[in-house]
Amino acid sequence: MAACVGVLPQPAQGAPPPTSLVNDAHRYACKSYANKLLQNLCALWHSQHFCDVEISAGGLSLKVRPGRVKVRPGRVKVRPGRGKVRPGRVKVRPGRVKVRPGWVKVRPGRGKVRPGRVKVRPGRVKVRPRWVKVRPGRGKVRPGRGKVRPGRVKVRPGRGKVRPGRVKAHRAVLSAGSAYFQAMFTGGLSEETQTLVEIKSIAHTIMSQLINFIYTGDIEITVENAQELVVAADMLEIHHVVHVGTNFLTKELHPSNALGIYRFAEAHHLVELLEAARDYIFANFSEVVMEDEFLEIPRDVLVRILQSEYLRIDSEFQVFSAAMRWIGQDITMRRRYVFDILNQVRLPLIPSKLLEKSISDCGDISLKVALRSIQKDLASKRGSLVPLYVQPRICARKKIYVIGGSKRELISSWTRSECTFESVECFDTYRKEWQKVCPMEIGRILPGISVLNGRIYVVGGEQESQILANGEVYDPQEDVWTNIASMVIPRCEFGLCAHEGSLYAFGGWVGEDIGGSIEKYDPVADVWRLESNMPEARFSMGVVEHLGLIYIVGGCTHSQRHLHDLLCYNAVTGEWQNLAPMLTPRSQMGVAVLDGFLYVVGGTNRHTVLTSVERYSFEQNKWFECPAMSVGRASPAVAATNSLLYVIGGDQTSEVNDFYRAQVTIAHVEYFDPNTNRWLDCTSLPESRSEAGAVVI
């Protein structure tokens, strides 16, 4: 209201500004005058001088004719007594009887109530057990001797006059502070000339607070009145109160009330509050679903929550458990929705043992039959009841798997230790901890690694100077490796990516030469076949898939050791396209896609191990330089998740002496945050590693 009262009139178009507004001193004086005017207006309002309208809101007061009984809110109470209320008899205790509004139903009649222990004549006043209906007539209520037991007592207005709570105000001030009142008093409506305006949908106390805010700019918001204030202020278009109220409710978000606030915001179209409550539910999903409020939400709200990509969960089993808990709350009525609800759960990501245990623990026969049919559908890979091919949710707890690779460390000036890893290190991006999982059957250096349908495929690579063609697949839910068909051509230091449900292998080192062939793997038939050829044989490059296209960057060919070109391959049409080249030619680098950019990290350029990083905008077809890493790395493992770019291990050049330089592996890990444009250190590998692959699940 401070912005609405005491504002100086705008000068006419083309007229010079008033001289009093030319400098800051006069402008400050005008603001002081406006504040003083506002204070005077508030004092005038409190004195109720010159008020030209009364606003009547909810919170009614009942007034019975003079000389009879008056009942007013806050002054009428029912006290417990010992007397019994029986049909045909009423006992009234002498003294001042207090009755709470809303507890007594009064209907018009003609019977009289006499003092003492009296019998009510039939046809006059009827008294029923547990609650009393009194039909007041012309008689007066006189003191009696009995006591009245508390019960369900309701009061209905009779012939007495009903006067709602009223607040006196000024039309001009209300119109300036509320678009609702402005339309009411200036839009030609009947209220424009009325001295009493009734607004029955808003409680009297709430209306009083809002009018007080219009005059003073002050309002007190509590847990008890916040929702009523927001609804009323939204109706009256007092946007400042709506904003303050939604901020208050946002700060009060808790697992026990988040769903209630979400539904409140949705019902009243409060977009900011709706988004805040939704984000809170997603971020605290595991706590919210354990509250009783979760069990009462409608099915459509549950489906919207469960299908979100942004549930922050440790595993998909948490989503399944929440869905089953909701169904179990009213299993008779809700089991009919089991297929609709479980379609939102990514069941292939749930370990089969946990699913089996949940089915065994189910006590409802019909629900158990439905769950068994879903289990058989998953096992047979029919996919007729639930989706078979799913990816983890964007905000699910992600883990980075670092697979295979080698270790080279100096023992002395002329001696070094080397080994090939079959082990797999798993990094929890939430806890920032490393742990080992089931190892591969054989060790591999520079294999092809990719994720398809929630499983990790590892093929090819090198072991003890032998180029490999075989492969294996890892199931993270079961923690087991399984062999798959071998590639047509053995290869290492090649590119592998998933595209449209298949795997594509590009180029690589194929023995004594550089390969240029492309192979395609069908995971259903477990078969590799030659697909086509690259424009030029290449190895030690980076390969990624993005939005249906496959990108190949850098590497080595017969004609050039370190390339800077970027190629785009359309697997459907078989067409190749040259795109903008990198800023720095390189090979043996790490690559990953993050938030619409292709990042190229480290690598080698002639005899130099690079610290430089650059990224390519798919939208702009342009490269940009990024801050350099803290250390140079060749053949690092790179992974992108949770809007961060992780660079793990790699090779460095170690100056042993003036005559000898050796490539040694490192355990150092760092990550890049595009939002801050900074590199930060992260938990190091348990042991140094290079020439490994990294994927995120």
Q: What is the pLDDT of residue 427?
A: 96
Assign domain 19-57+162-250 to a CATH class.
Answer: alpha beta
Answer whether residue 543 shows pLDDT above 50: yes
Tell me the pLDDT tens digit for each residue of 301-349. 999 999 999 998 878 899 999 999 999 999 999 989 999 999 999 988 8
Query: 385 vs 612, which has greater pLDDT?
Result: 612
Answer whether residue 102 shows pLDDT above 70: no
Query: 19 vs 349, which has greater pLDDT?
Result: 349
Q: What is the pLDDT of residue 56?
A: 67
Backbone angles phi, psi at 455, to 5 degrees: -125, 155
Q: What is the pLDDT of residue 138?
A: 38
Residue 551's region, left for phi above 0, alpha for psi from -120 to 50, else beta, is beta
Which residues are bridge partners to 118 per DSSP? 90
Answer whether residue 601 shows pLDDT above 80: yes
Q: What is the pLDDT of residue 58?
A: 67
Instruction: Map tokens 């990719």 to a residue.
Output: 450
Share of the chain above pLDDT 70, in %: 75
Q: How confident is the model at residue 36 (pLDDT cuts 50, 70, 90)?
A: low
Answer whether residue 572 shows pLDDT above 90: yes
Answer whether residue 137 shows pLDDT above 80: no
Tell me the pLDDT tens digit for each residue of 166-187. 888 888 888 888 888 888 888 8
User: How far, in Å, CA of 380 to CA of 362, rounded?
Assistant: 22
Average pLDDT across the chain, whole number: 80
Span 258-279, mean pLDDT?
Answer: 94
User: Nearest 5°: CA angle at 28, between 23 and 33?
Assistant: 130
Q: How confident is the model at residue 216 (pLDDT cuts 50, 70, 90)?
A: confident
Answer whether residue 38 shows pLDDT above 70: no
Query: 410 vs 264, which has greater pLDDT?
Result: 264
Query: 22 vs 652, which has greater pLDDT?
Result: 652
Query: 691 vs 33, which has greater pLDDT?
Result: 691
54-63, 341-350, 403-412, 595-604: which has the minimum mean pLDDT? 54-63
Answer whether residue 518 shows pLDDT above 90: yes
Span 351-359, mean pLDDT?
Answer: 87
Span 114-120, mean pLDDT?
Answer: 40
On whether the CB atoms of residues 435 and 426 are closer than 8 A, the answer is: yes
Answer whether residue 120 shows pLDDT above 60: no
Span 191-218, mean pLDDT?
Answer: 86
User: Nearest 5°: CA angle at 412, between 406 and 416?
Assistant: 20
Q: What is the pLDDT of residue 450?
A: 97
Residue 432's alpha-carbon distances to 146, 216, 425, 645, 697, in angstroms, are 75, 52, 13, 14, 15
Torsion of CA 457, 461, 467, 468, to 10 degrees: -20
Q: How confident is the model at residue 48 (pLDDT cuts 50, 70, 90)?
A: low
Q: How confident is the model at residue 52 (pLDDT cuts 50, 70, 90)?
A: low
Q: Using the 8-state DSSP alphabet, how is residue 175 labeled?
A: H
Q: How confident is the model at residue 130 (pLDDT cuts 50, 70, 90)?
A: very low
Report CA torsion sign: 657, 663, 669, 670.
positive
Answer whether residue 25 shows pLDDT above 50: no
Q: What is the pLDDT of residue 39?
A: 65
User: How far, in Å, CA of 508 to CA of 496, rounded?
Assistant: 10
Q: How confident is the model at residue 692 (pLDDT cuts 50, 70, 90)?
A: very high
Assign domain 273-380 to a CATH class.
Answer: mainly alpha
Q: What is the pLDDT of residue 697?
A: 86
According to the per-residue pLDDT averaged within each range, which of 28-32, 150-154, 340-344, 596-600 is highest?
Answer: 596-600
Span 8-16, mean pLDDT?
Answer: 44
Reduce the secondary structure of 240-275 to three states and give it as a string: HHHHHHHHHHHHCCCCCCHHHHHHHHHHCCCHHHHH
Q: Domain spans of the chain?
A: 19-57+162-250, 273-380
Q: What is the pLDDT of residue 606?
A: 81
Q: What is the pLDDT of residue 353?
A: 84
User: How far, in Å, CA of 543 to CA of 549, rounded?
Assistant: 11
Span 79-107, mean pLDDT?
Answer: 40
Answer whether residue 114 shows pLDDT above 70: no
Q: How confident is the model at residue 51 (pLDDT cuts 50, 70, 90)?
A: low
Span 204-212, mean pLDDT?
Answer: 88
Q: What is the pLDDT of residue 656?
A: 58
Tell me the pLDDT tens digit for each residue of 434-457. 999 999 999 999 999 999 988 999
Q: What is residue 104's three-state secondary structure?
A: coil
Answer whether residue 275 shows pLDDT above 60: yes
User: How far, in Å, CA of 697 to CA of 426, rounded?
Assistant: 10
Please report the beta strands in 64-125, taking only residues with DSSP state E, as ranges in sequence order.
Answer: 89-90, 105-106, 118-119
On whether the CB atoms of residues 517 and 504 are closer than 8 A, the answer is: no
Q: What is the pLDDT of residue 97?
A: 40
Q: What is the pLDDT of residue 71?
A: 36
